[in-house]
Every structure is written in C-alpha cells, then in structure tokens.
C-alpha cells in the first residue's frame, strides 16, 4: 500500500510520556494529558489531473459520473497542523506565511459540516494553527484544491491518531472519503499513479463515496507518463469549479454527458490495462473539449479557454500527425494546457515545447510534472 512522504511530529517530551503510559498505568493519565498539550503533524499531498472529468455533483459531494486521474509528483501542497489548547483565538490559517481569510472560511465550513467525522472532540478544531504552502507558484493558474484539501485531511487524520495514541497505519480509503467531502477531486490525490472515483460496474470496489487506486490495473507505460503544464494564463479563473458544477443542474446536455463519461470510464479502464495509447489519446482529448463545451452551453454560458489554448491544441494535433509521437492534451477548468506523454518520448516532446509551444505561454512559463509512482 502507498506510503505518503509525510510525517507526524509529536514533541519529543511527549514520546516519552506515551512510552511510560504503556509501562506504568498509574502515571499514564497525567502524562497523557501532558502529551496532548502540543501536537504538530505535517502532510504533503500531490495534485492530480483528470483524464475522465468529474463535472456535476449531487447530494453531499457525490459525483454524477466516475472520473479517472493521474496523480502528480512535483505539484503538491505541504500542510502543518499544530494543536495547542493554549491557542485561544479560534483556528488560525496561514497560506505561505500570510493569513488567508478565503481559504480559512473554506476550512471552517468543512469543519462545521464534517468535523464530527473525526475521532476527537470538535473543540480541538478551535485550538489549531494551520500552515500551508504549494510547491507550484500560486500565480500559475493551477487549481490547488485537490492537493490542499487532501493534505489538510491527512493532517487531521494524523492529529486524530496522535490524540488517540493510535499507531495503526492510515486508512487511505477513509482519507479519500474525508477528502472528497472537502473537494471532490481531492479524493483521488491520496493514491499514487492513478485513481478512480465514482461507481462503475467495471471495478468491483469502486464507489461514489471514495476513490480507489488503479495502480495495479494500468500497463507499465502509464506509470512513466509526464504532464507538462503550459501556463497560458496565470490569472485566477473568472468562474470557479464550484459554480461550474452547479451549472450542470438542469444543463440541457447533462444526461448525455454523464452517459458519455460512464462509457469513457469503461473504455479508458480497458485502454489503461492494454496500453492502448490511441484510445487513451482519443478519450483524453474529447473529455477535455467536452468539459469546455459544457461551460460554453451552460446558462449563463462562459468560456475559460484563451486564444493561445486553441493555438497549442492545433500545434499538438499537427505534431502528432507529423511525428507519430503519442502526445496529447487535456484541460482542467481553466486555459492552461496539460500535455500528456510517455517518458520514452520526453526528449522529442521537450524539443517541441521549446521550439513551438513555449511562446504561447505567459513569460514562456511551463511546469514539468510526472506521475507519482510511490
């Protein structure tokens, strides 16, 4: 099972306390109380890029169709949560060292709705200092809710373990479920390689409640995939994903979209298993275009693509036709283009990026990422 590269730090003096608690029951209660004075936990969680997209939800953060994503390596969030009963001013939140009321409000809403799912007194949440930072520049236009919310949830679960003296390994399925409640795409970030979120008859333990790992269901080539993110715009997007999901309610193409996504999930699972790159490319690109078509045909309609997004897409098509290099694009809910390709073609694709694509990016900016494999 995947082991996250995060760690829990309980202050040194407290390790001693928990050791004594098992050796000497008389001292245990006092010392355990001491232990719970200060706890610091940290977690690092990656971003992910969906190939089959989650777009539209119902009930309590349940998806209207299954989605499949690659988990990334270089784009991640690192979060620390410090618990100290002496912190008396409610939860404090710092993003890259600066207070962020917007993100704090998001966390507070999550805690208000779902805080009781953690195995500790919800009072604990008002004595926390949360600090978070992203590995990618915050003006890169990269959505960070998947990495940031999964990192936060992993911290809360580590805190739960520390408060309960629970040394059992982290339950990733529960982590995924709790992350889903914070942000749908975050449910997929807790697994390496690839993940599936949403029920499909093709995978027996799949569920709308949590994501499952696909690591053992994909051909080796997909474990070498690169995702190079071409930064067409670094501005905050004009319409948030939250609003976009809501616009799927009553959307004239909604039912058709959910059927297509279910069919694409089935086809993609088969293509991943058999290393069928042509089908992979077909699905990745049509899912990306469909996502943006749904935006263009919603009420009110909106567009997040920029002219340079379309120019890059044209260049990718031409390059693939002329070279047979199996590079394709996908898009998130924004104008930046994600180039997906197997490692063995990285030299050729990098030349292509430098010669042709870089000039369509803000300040020639792009981020090279690769699938997370451990």
Interacting residue ranges for ligand DP6, rule: CB under 6 A: 50, 53-55, 61, 67, 145, 183-185, 241-242, 245, 291, 332-333
CB of 15 to ligand DP6, least distance (A): 37
Looking at the Cβ atoms of 28 and 62, the one nearer to ligand DP6 is 62
Looking at the Cβ atoms of 241 and 264, the one nearer to ligand DP6 is 241
Using an 8 Å Cβ cutoff, are 22 and 260 in contact? no
What is the sign of the dihedral through the CA atoms of 174, 272, 68 and 312?
positive
CB of 122 to ligand DP6, least distance (A): 22
Using an 8 Å Cβ cutoff, are 367 and 229 in contact? yes
Looking at the Cβ atoms of 8 and 183, the one nearer to ligand DP6 is 183
CB of 111 to ligand DP6, least distance (A): 16
Which structure tokens are listed for 92? Answer: 């404090």
Using an 8 Å Cβ cutoff, are 68 and 50 in contact? yes
Looking at the Cβ atoms of 50 and 175, the one nearer to ligand DP6 is 50
CB of 144 to ligand DP6, least distance (A): 9
CB of 17 to ligand DP6, least distance (A): 39
- 3-class SS of residue 370: strand
Give the Cα separation of 194 and 177 in Å (integer): 16
Looking at the Cβ atoms of 242 and 317, the one nearer to ligand DP6 is 242
Which structure tokens are listed for 56? Answer: 């539209």
Q: Which residues contact 270 (CB under 8 A, 6 or more apart)?
A: 276, 279
CB of 373 to ligand DP6, least distance (A): 20
Using an 8 Å Cβ cutoff, are 118 and 160 in contact? yes
Strands 328-331 and 226-230: unpaired
Looking at the Cβ atoms of 83 and 280, the one nearer to ligand DP6 is 280
Residue 371 is classified by DSSP as B
Using an 8 Å Cβ cutoff, are 74 and 135 in contact? yes
């Amino acid at each position: 099972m995947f082991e996250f590269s995060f760690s829990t730090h309980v202050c040194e003096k407290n390790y001693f306390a928990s050791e004594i608690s098992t050796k000497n029951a008389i001292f245990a209660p006092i010392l355990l109380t001491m232990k719970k004075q200060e706890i610091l936990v940290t977690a690092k969680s990656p971003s992910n890029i969906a190939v089959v997209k989650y777009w539209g939800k119902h009930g309590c953060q349940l998806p209207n169709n299954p989605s499949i994503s690659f988990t990334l390596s270089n784009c991640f969030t690192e979060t620390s949560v410090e618990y100290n009963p002496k912190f008396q001013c409610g939860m404090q939140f710092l993003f890259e060292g600066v207070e962020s009321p917007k993100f704090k409000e998001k966390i507070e809403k999550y805690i208000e709705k779902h805080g009781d799912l953690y195995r500790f007194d919800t009072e604990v949440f008002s004595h926390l200092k949360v600090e978070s930072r992203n590995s990618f520049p915050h003006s890169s236009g990269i959505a960070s809710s998947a990495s940031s919310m999964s990192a936060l949830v992993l911290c809360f679960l580590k805190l739960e373990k520390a408060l309960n003296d629970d040394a059992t390994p982290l339950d990733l399925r529960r982590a995924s479920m709790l992350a889903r409640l914070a942000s749908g795409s975050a449910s997929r970030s807790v697994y390496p390689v690839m993940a599936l979120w949403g029920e499909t008859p093709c995978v027996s333990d799949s569920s709308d409640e949590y994501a499952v790992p696909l690591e053992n269901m994909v051909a080796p080539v997909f474990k070498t995939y690169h995702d190079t993110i071409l930064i067409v715009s670094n501005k905050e997007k004009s319409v948030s994903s939250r609003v976009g999901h809501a616009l799927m309610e009553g959307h004239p193409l909604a039912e058709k979209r959910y059927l297509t996504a279910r069919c694409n999930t089935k086809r993609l699972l088969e293509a991943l298993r058999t290393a069928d790159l042509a089908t992979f490319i077909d699905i990745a690109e049509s899912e990306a275009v469909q996502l943006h078509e749904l935006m263009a045909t919603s009420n009110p309609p909106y567009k997040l693509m920029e002219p340079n997004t379309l120019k890059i897409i044209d260049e990718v098509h031409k390059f693939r036709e002329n070279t047979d290099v199996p590079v394709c694009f996908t898009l998130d809910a924004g104008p930046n283009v994600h180039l997906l390709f197997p490692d063995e073609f990285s030299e050729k694709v990098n030349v292509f990026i430098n010669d042709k694509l870089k000039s369509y990016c803000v300040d020639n900016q792009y981020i090279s990422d690769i699938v997370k494999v451990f």
